[in-house]
Structure 1
Amino acid sequence: RRPNRTVRSSRNKHASFITLRINTTTHPCARLSTGPRQEHRTFYEFRTYSIRPDQNAAFLKLTNEKINLRTAHSELIGYWSVEYGGLNQVFHIWKYDSYAQRAGVRVALAQDPTWISEYISKALPMLTSQDNEVTYLVPWSRLQKPAQSGGVYELVSFQMRPGGPAVWGNAFQAAVTARDAPGYGKLLGAFHSEFGLQNRVHALWWYDSADQRAEMRHKAHTDARVVAAVRNSVSHLDSQRSQLMLPCPFSPMN
């Protein structure tokens, strides 16, 4: 009897292995990182500037007055001042239809004397560092507008373990949508990094206020569906960071 049971178990394992290979061949798991990026060229550039503490107010005032010189060249999605999770920083998102378009914008800006004399020459000495990252919206996410003007925004960045979306894509989606669907926050977009740190994803959220965000987070922690989804995604996570941001007056998302 024991040998027969062993044979049946071995056959079942072999059959499962064959089925797995067939399914993997006909239904690629890496759906989150391949097709949509090849079909849609639109990407979003995340830019973070760190400002000299004594120049923070002056930088924001200058940018408020001269941002039209920059938006004349390409589309600004949003511009925020970081309130928590980073001091004396601004974060902004720019949309491009292709890398060729972005290259053309950079050339045009370098040749724009008004932009250089009235903004760049004054703004750069106020900064201590600049950083950028190219991201794509993940296939199941669409860029949304906030429910109303004002409010606060939260950018949550997740550094996932190596392997790519084929390994952790489904778990990340489940964790984000488990919070979004019941209304524990308004998801404005989920992004996957292309240039910058690899295996990095971001979720941009909107709330009425910082206190409402705290309340929604508390409620989410008591929701068994959210807890289960987060617990599953944590096994793929190395680290995460959260920043609470306030929209600048000139931000399209405001």
Structure 2
Amino acid sequence: LFFAVLSLIWSFSASSNRNGEDSWFKSLFVRKVDPRKDAHSHLLAKKEESNLYKIQFHNVKPECLDAYNKLCEDVLPSIHTNEYYPCELVGTWNTWYGEQDQAVHLWRYRGGYPALTEVMNKLKNNKEFLEYRKERGRMLLSRRNQLLLEFSFWNEPVPREGPNIYELRSYQLRPGTMIEWGNYWARAISYRQQNREAVGGFFSQIGHLYMVHHLWAYKNLQLREDTRNAVWQHEGWNEVVYYTVPLIQHMDSRIMIPMKTSPLQ
């Protein structure tokens, strides 16, 4: 059966070629990755800034969530506001819809990997942070992180007043397709600026590779729905969706609520 289906797919693709059409169905199965002469990070990341981002996902024991939030609110802002550490807390949230009892933290390191290393070394001597990490460990079921760069065509995330809800849309791309994704979204982002919903766009460097994260802000879920529906009225948006969907292996959406001390409210 498998070979029969495969034969049908290739027959369909060949027929499309004869008609001079590159069908979406064919693109799901046939994709040529063009050779590159430079890393996609050099081509897609902002040149004027050497910012590195770290995103953390903490799965918290349900009975510990309130205590965990209080712990983060007591400790993380002290690192964020201290010029001794070349890093900033961009935002910190609890997941509302998606994976439950989860916290998401996004940090920015101005100066790239040297700044990250400097912060890590300095925190080893911060007794408050070491106690925070020890106490935090008792509250977590699991945790993971990624190091990210920001796309050159996205806004840099800056503090904003609330109240807002945030959507983190995460895409696992097919290996070798990051440049293609960036080319389409460099045009697509102009369609998604109507309500200042675009907060930041990032791609992974360490951790799960070929991962893209888009961060959006909305006043409420209904405005999110209205905004996402309205974008289909823009000529060209349908093409972006048409050509980028085949690049995705997996996608996920989280609706998140900011913690009290998050710069993104």
Question: Which bracket does the TM-score occupy, shorter chain normalised?
Answer: 0.7 to 0.9
Rounded Cα–Cα distance in structure 2 between residues aligned with 1:31 and 1:121: 38
Residues 1:168 and 1:63: Cα distance change in structure 2 (over 3 Å): closer
Q: Which residue of 2 aligns with 1:136?
A: 149
Does residue 41 of structure 2 align to residue 33 of structure 1?
yes
Residues 1:38 and 1:138: Cα distance change in structure 2 (over 3 Å): closer
Q: Which residue of 2 aligns with 1:90?
A: 103
Q: Which residue of 2 aligns with 1:213?
A: 224
1:144 is displaced (CA, Å) by: 3.7
Structure 1 residues 160-169 or 56-65, which shifts more? 160-169
Q: Number of paired residues?
A: 226
1:98 is displaced (CA, Å) by: 2.1
- Matches for 1:174-253 after TM superposition, within 5 Å: 174-178=187-191, 180-181=192-193, 183=194, 186-221=197-232, 223=234, 225-253=236-264
Q: Which residue of 1 aligns with 2:169?
A: 156
The answer to whether the 8 A contact 1:175-1:233 is kept is: no
In terms of Rg, which structure is larger? Answer: 1
Question: Which letter maps to 2:220?
Answer: S
Q: Which residues of structure 1 form unaligned runs of 5+?
A: 1-23
Does residue 135 of structure 2 align to residue 122 of structure 1?
yes
TM-score normalised according to structure 1 size: 0.79
Question: Which letter maps to 2:130?
Answer: I
Instruction: Specify the SS of the correspondent of 1:194.
Output: strand
Q: Which residue of 1 aligns with 2:21?
A: none
Q: Which residue of 1 aligns with 2:11?
A: none
Higher helix share: 1
Identity rate, percent: 24
Rounded Cα–Cα distance in structure 1 between residues aligned with 2:123 and 2:43: 32
Q: Aligned to 1:43, which of 48, 52, 55?
A: 52
Cα-to-partner distance string for 1:126-168 (whole Å, 9 max, x where unaligned): 0111111111111212214476421111111111111143333
Q: Which residues of structure 2 form unaligned runs of 5+?
A: 1-33
TM-score normalised according to structure 2 size: 0.76
CA RMSD of aligned residues (A): 2.6
